[in-house]
Structure 1
Amino acid sequence: MRCLYLNCAESLLNLKEELSKKFSKVAVFEIKLGQKEQELLQLENEKTFFIDLINKFNEFKKGNDFVIVVGCDGFGIIGKYELNLKIAKNLNCPIYEIKNLNALKNLNKNSKLLITNDLQEIISFEQNIITPYQFENLLTNRARDAKATVILPESDDDRILKASDLLLKQDVVSLIILGDQSKVFERANELGLDLKKAKIINPESNEYQKDVAASIYEKRKAKGMTEENALKLAKDRTYFGTMLVELGIADAMVSGASTTTAETIRPALQLIKTKPGVSIVSGLFFMSLDEEVLLYADCAITPNPDPEALASIAISTAESAKSFGIVPKVAMLSYSTGESGTGPDVDMIKEAAKILKEKDPELKFAAPIQYDAAADITVGAKKMPGSQVAGHANVFVFPSLNTGNICYKAVQRTANALAIGPVLQGLRKPVNDLSRGCLVEDIMNTVLISAIQAKG
């Protein structure tokens, strides 16, 4: 389905007539700003406005071959062209403009959004913009379709309870919250939250206790586990929650708001273990920028991966991209591009590239490559001409945890990017770790991602 965006309806009739010669079903979608919509934009609640608009537009597109979107006037301090540019990006619609073409382009420098007076260019152009609102909406809809059950072990953290309340109101996942039911509901009432739709399980006393303890013992007895210690671990909320995922009682678990990464990951490695053929667990971040979503790995788990581990991280991250509807183009990052540099660090990336080619010959990747050559079309064409990935990469594999963690935080803070993660990949079943500084929104996004991971 194709579309274009008009800032006003002046040329609508002529355009519709012209497009009807090439497309059988041409429809018009008008942006109308009533009092409710204006209030949302003025009260800094534009997220609700844009997500509602994105959903309406996606529904409208069904059954049509081409949609002409007619923009709206600005109001108050919100200018017409600034508002329509933002709407066009969030609807992923190239703009058709004649009168104010240059002025509009100047307002939209360094953007992937196509603005042109050439109708044929719009018809043949593949616009591919994913805004943060689009990505969050994608997560919500995919998680709702997944119908997964996610465990939240940390009921003593108010952020977990607040996130649970919002997730249950949106009806996107089923939740199991671990803790004493009376205490959970008492605190929820104090906070004005409704958690009645959640299942509350006390890890210290419940119907699953014996099965969980027996399963822990069976999985760990070769490592010296005793039945007595297994019973103790079955009362630990993280081990208990992890085992419920392994036993299929839940589909995923999200933890770490008040515990360390090690405390979250250790039970998963011991009880769930890695997928067949995957050598390590790694942590990726979804970096939702103004117009695109990038995947960074490993930013959380493996300090100094060897070539085999780097290849495994690349494959896992590419698979993660696919599961979220993103066609992976992988950049194996280094301080040099192609054959321009030498040294042990570059050699390690080259060795990882050989392993990656053997393991996944169909995967599009570039290695070694510098970040600018991977991300910028002009630089990529100069430094690695002929590459399908240079200048177009969306999956970035860093040579070490040091570089990955620094880079994701730098981009998050300086580019005002929405960073979602770390998302653990490589486990047979999803267990994801939260930052102890996480916001309610971070918890919600991690739960949504975990639900999507669980259903593949």
Structure 2
Amino acid sequence: MKRNIMLIPVSKNINLTIISLGLINFFEELNHSVLFFKPFYELHNCYDVLDDTSLILKKYFSTSFINSHHINKKFFLLEKFKNKYLLENSIDLFLKNKIYYDILLIEGVNNNSHNFLINDLNLDLSYHLKSDLIFVFSHDDYKNIIFFLKKIKNFNISNNFLGIIINNTFLNFQDIYINRVSKHIKSQCIDNIPIIADIRYNCDVLFYPISKILTLLKVHKILKINFNVNVVKLFLFYDNLIFDYEYNYSHSILIISYDIFVHKFIHILKRKLNFFNFYAIILFNVKDCHTLQYGFLKDIKKFNISFFYTLLDINIIKLIINRCHINILKYNQNQLKKLSNYISNCLNEKYIISHTKCNKKKYFSHLSSFSFLYNLKKYAKKLNKCILLPEGNELRIIQSAAIANELGIARCVLLGNVDEIHQIALSNNIILSKNINIINPKNIYFNYVHKLVQLRYKKGMTFELAKSIVYHSNIILGSLMLHVGEIDGIVCGVRYTSIDVLKSALQIIGVNKKKNVSLVSSIFFMLLKNHVLVYGDCSVNINPNFQQLSEIAIQSADLSKKFGIEPRIAMLSYSTGLSGQGESVEKVRQATILIKKNRPDLVVDGPIQYDASVNEFISSIKSPSSPLLGQATVLIFPDLNSGNITYKAIQQSLGVYSIGPILQGLNKPVNDLSRGASIDDIVYTIAVTAIQSDQE
């Protein structure tokens, strides 16, 4: 059993440490090994080495944990692209971990500033780590809970949503208030939204030393009455206060704004003087002691209650109270274990066990686009292949070679005039490393003339003709270099046409006859927001017959698998199953039959419409017996017309990033670029080509 669970704080001032400790205790009592991971740790001072949870686990428990990635608080205020950096570092930390575990418990980042980038970061990380989600709220944030729950069905995370935890461990409100809030939440909850735990403050487990809390809140004395009280059992926040005339408030502190107290609550106190026996009242929103009115000072002496004021705002007050106990608990092992046991007992044991079993769903898990790109770069970097860029004098090619070298994904070779390439780089502030090999084709072309004559002799190739062709065509020269094994792959196409690239590849590299390949085809990796789809063939074969279509599908499935995408093949048509007839539908049907015959190991269905192949609900209606279950990853179009239009429509209309066309079926990898290819397109195509060269 392996299960990833992520706690995502939604309310402000949520202390996840004690929730994490409670869940760890819960699973370990069930004999599950737990690994804790706090991906990002916000540094509070230079002495912080570990986050609170990891520090406690290291000091008092045997639970394993992964060290956090330390970040400065200001980092979260930076632009959105920084999320990519954080995600990469977090995934790196996770993948480097070699510890065996049953449960990976991930603690998300607190979003006390309601920064939408932090919310995105938490959700993105949960998706890339394929985690089940538990959202954590506090009782005083019940309006946000209801709003959030009503939006939950709009998230793409619904299949991984376990439920919510309402945490009132530290910010202790009255039971009468909490019961009312909990009842309201449950009445507003969408069906099947489970509350995993509704945790209440327990004064038998927790208490606040008065001297400690008053110091942390930086209070100033207005009037102090000496009582024999050492601990606070209840904090009352006036905005949540519900009067309970049977409750004993002797160990309570009321926190209320100065204006509300003076204009409203003081009159209630006068009428119910014998009822309220607070230990103290702390006023906030007091600018300074001169704000306090003379009449106010005279009135409060009658109440026999200690009065203090603080210059802190209400959110800071709650945060301090929230963190106060965890800071105290860091040094009290017995209290920590007592509290983690209490939290563990609050959890809905039956629900958690039933929903954290391995393979609880039959759903297939997609590879996310971020994970795909991350793995792509990592794999290419490990291979360290030599990739030739024949259009070496093109600015985009020079920029891409510099980036690819910096990332370490390939050893790039540029074909072109050496002085011209260096001048272009200098003019555009591009640093060309010495690791980038720049070759003037005029200096080496003659070495390959005889090879071209040898390869094309039966087609009438002469020495003089070959000499002229190799001299004038970098793509032919590059293909010859690839043929003799001096390089590992070729990427070009920003100046050469697709016909030029494909023609040279077929004439010099040839198809892979060892794998019984009869044609060259292509795929595109379509990087949607949360997953990657493979489209084929969208750039080479105009109108393949059913044998060719089946071969394209098998090639696409095999290549997809080698890039970490589990192939689930949809043979696309305008109809699903037996609902349509005609030559084009029959071609797809026969191709599907042939795939099942030749490769029974592949999951394939067809003819099937696009919507039924990628949407679970539509699949359940149109094709309930389909093995794809609306979870196709490899989509094969019946002809070039439909494939090319579809990939460009999705790419341009939805802003979907794509890598391709990636040629498949050749003896060695040669990949064609769009003449409008961006720098990213070229860099990722270099990485793909490097990986292909290891697999051919």
TM-score range, shorter chain: over 0.9
Q: CA 1:310–1:218 in structure 2 vs 1: closer, same or farther (change >3 Å)?
A: same
Task: From 227, 248, 251, give the equivalent of 2:488.
Answer: 251
Q: CA 1:452–1:225 in structure 2 vs 1: closer, same or farther (change >3 Å)?
A: same
Work out whether residues 391 and 397 of structure 2, in 8 Å CA contact, stay in contact via their aligned partners in 1: yes
Distance 1:212 1:356 in 2: 41
Look up the match of 1:198: 436
Question: Following superposition of structure 1 onto structure 2, how do residues 403-418 of structure 1 map, counting pairs within 5 Å?
Answer: 403-418=642-657
1:119 aligns with 2:352: yes
Distance 1:213 1:62 in 2: 56
Q: Deviations over 1:55-81 (max 9, x none)?
A: 222223654443211111234642654
Distance 1:151 1:62 in 2: 40
Structure 1-normalised TM-score?
0.93
Q: Matched residue of 1:355: which SS? A: helix
Work out whether residues 105 and 115 of structure 1, in 8 Å CA contact, stay in contact via their aligned partners in 2: no
Shift of 1:141: 0.5
Q: Matched residue of 2:443: which SS? A: coil
Distance 1:135 1:42 in 2: 23
Question: Following superposition of structure 1 onto structure 2, how do residues 102-181 of structure 1 map, counting pairs within 5 Å?
Answer: 103=148, 106-107=151-152, 109-112=154-157, 114-117=160-163, 118-120=351-353, 121-124=355-358, 125=360, 128-181=365-418
Stretch moving more, 129-138 or 224-233: 129-138
Give the aligned residue type for 1:217. V
Q: CA 1:108–1:418 in structure 2 vs 1: closer, same or farther (change >3 Å)?
A: farther
Distance 1:269 1:40 in 2: 52
Question: Following superposition of structure 1 onto structure 2, how do residues 347-358 of structure 1 map, counting pairs within 5 Å?
Answer: 347-358=586-597
Look up the match of 2:33: 24
Q: CA 1:86–1:361 in structure 2 vs 1: closer, same or farther (change >3 Å)?
A: closer
Distance 2:459 2:581 in 1: 44
Q: CA 1:80–1:142 in structure 2 vs 1: closer, same or farther (change >3 Å)?
A: closer
Question: Following superposition of structure 1 onto structure 2, how do residues 35-114 of structure 1 map, counting pairs within 5 Å?
Answer: 35=72, 38=75, 41-42=78-79, 44-60=81-97, 62-74=99-111, 75=113, 77-78=115-116, 81-97=119-135, 99=137, 100=145, 103=148, 106-107=151-152, 109-112=154-157, 114=160
1:281 aligns with 2:505: no
Which 5+ residue runs of structure 1 have no aligned equivalent? Answer: none
Question: Following superposition of structure 1 onto structure 2, how do residues 262-411 of structure 1 map, counting pairs within 5 Å?
Answer: 262-276=499-513, 277-411=516-650
Give the aligned residue type for 1:241. G
Look up the match of 1:432: 671
1:237 aligns with 2:238: no
Work out whether residues 375 and 392 of structure 1, in 8 Å CA contact, stay in contact via their aligned partners in 2: yes
Work out whether residues 89 and 129 of structure 1, in 8 Å CA contact, stay in contact via their aligned partners in 2: no
Distance 2:552 2:151 in 1: 40
Count of aligned residue pairs for this structure pair: 454
Stretch moving more, 229-238 or 146-155: 229-238
Stretch moving more, 353-362 or 262-271: 353-362
Give the aligned residue type for 1:197. N
Work out whether residues 287 and 294 of structure 1, in 8 Å CA contact, stay in contact via their aligned partners in 2: yes
Structure 2-normalised TM-score?
0.62
Distance 1:231 1:40 in 2: 60
Stretch moving more, 406-415 or 171-180: 406-415
Q: Deviations over 1:84-129 (max 9, x none)?
A: 2233123322212365498257246251451113533244257835
Identity of aligned residues (%): 31
Distance 1:158 1:359 in 2: 46
Greater CA radius of gyration, 1 or 2? Answer: 2
Give the aligned residue type for 1:17. N
Stretch moving more, 10-19 or 268-277: 10-19
Work out whether residues 366 and 390 of structure 1, in 8 Å CA contact, stay in contact via their aligned partners in 2: no
Q: CA 1:347–1:54 in structure 2 vs 1: closer, same or farther (change >3 Å)?
A: same
Work out whether residues 27 and 64 of structure 1, in 8 Å CA contact, stay in contact via their aligned partners in 2: no
Q: Matched residue of 1:204: which SS? A: helix
Which 5+ residue runs of structure 2 have no aligned equivalent? Answer: 10-15, 43-70, 138-144, 164-350
Stretch moving more, 25-34 or 261-270: 25-34
Q: CA 1:356–1:35 in structure 2 vs 1: closer, same or farther (change >3 Å)?
A: same
Shift of 1:321: 0.7
Shift of 1:194: 2.4
Q: CA 1:105–1:175 in structure 2 vs 1: closer, same or farther (change >3 Å)?
A: farther
Look up the match of 1:225: 461
Stretch moving more, 252-261 or 93-102: 93-102
Distance 2:567 2:576 in 1: 19
Q: Deviations over 1:264-291 (max 9, x none)?
A: 1110010111112112111211011111
Shift of 1:341: 0.9
Give the aligned residue type for 2:382. D
Distance 1:367 1:154 in 2: 41
Distance 2:374 2:153 in 1: 24
